[in-house]
Amino acid sequence: MKIAVFPGSFDPITNGHLDVLTRVAPIFDAVVVAVLQNVNKRPLFTLEERLAMIRAAVQGLPTVRVDSFAGLLVDFARDVGAVAVIRGIRSAGDCTMEVQMANMNRRLQPQLTTLLVPAAAEYAFVSSSLVKEVAGHGSDVTGLVPSSVGLALSAKFGPA
């Protein structure tokens, strides 16, 4: 079994994340979306809310499962038997940070390989933070997030 982990805060998951997930899912036997439990900044959504939104969004991807983790990503990856870590990149800025993380993870667990997947051009400007900011000011984020997230944002902030 070739297993990959797709880690993140997912506060909330966006269509950019989903695009990356959809592209990599056929390459592996299974992909585990790994949701970081204790996000540094106070998350808008609880862990349970983030997991539920992702589970709803990946219903059409039978080889994708959703789990959460605390502590080091490399330990979670080892526990699920993953050979690869998947991260999406939108910009040169992302790339710099992701290569730094990839090399630290490689030092911690040399067998685990990080694969960086470019975000689709139409989602290159989409981030969880911007989605929350825009939705928080009452503007529409339809098309940028899955419907499960759109509903959850409306529940938090009111409909756009």
Give the footprint of ligand PNS on this chain (CB under 6 A). Answer: 7-9, 36, 72-73, 101, 104-105
Q: Which is nearer to ligand PNS, 41 or 62 (CB)?
A: 41
Catalytic residue among 50, 128, 132, 148: 128
Write the DSSP symbol of residue 89. Answer: E
| 154 in catalytic set | no
Catalytic residue among 23, 55, 78, 90: 90
**How far, in Å, CA of 12 to CA of 153, rounded?**
9
Q: Quickly list DSSP for 109-156.
A: -TT-EEEEEEPPGGGTT--HHHHHHHHHTT---BTTB-HHHHHHHHHH
Rounded to the nearest whole angstrom, what is the least distance from the CB of residue 21 to ligand PNS in the complex?
13
Q: Which is nearer to ligand PNS, 72 or 155 (CB)?
A: 72
| 2 in catalytic set | no
| 41 in catalytic set | yes
Q: Which is nearer to ligand PNS, 91 or 158 (CB)?
A: 91
CB-nearest residue to ligand PNS: 8
Rounded to the nearest whole angstrom, what is the least distance from the CB of residue 7 to ligand PNS in the complex?
4
**How far, in Å, CA of 4 to CA of 26, rounded?**
11
The SS3 of residue 27 is helix
Is residue 118 exposed (0-12), middle (13-18) or buried (19+ Cβ within 10 Å)?
middle
| 139 in catalytic set | no
Enzyme catalytic residues:
17, 41, 90, 128
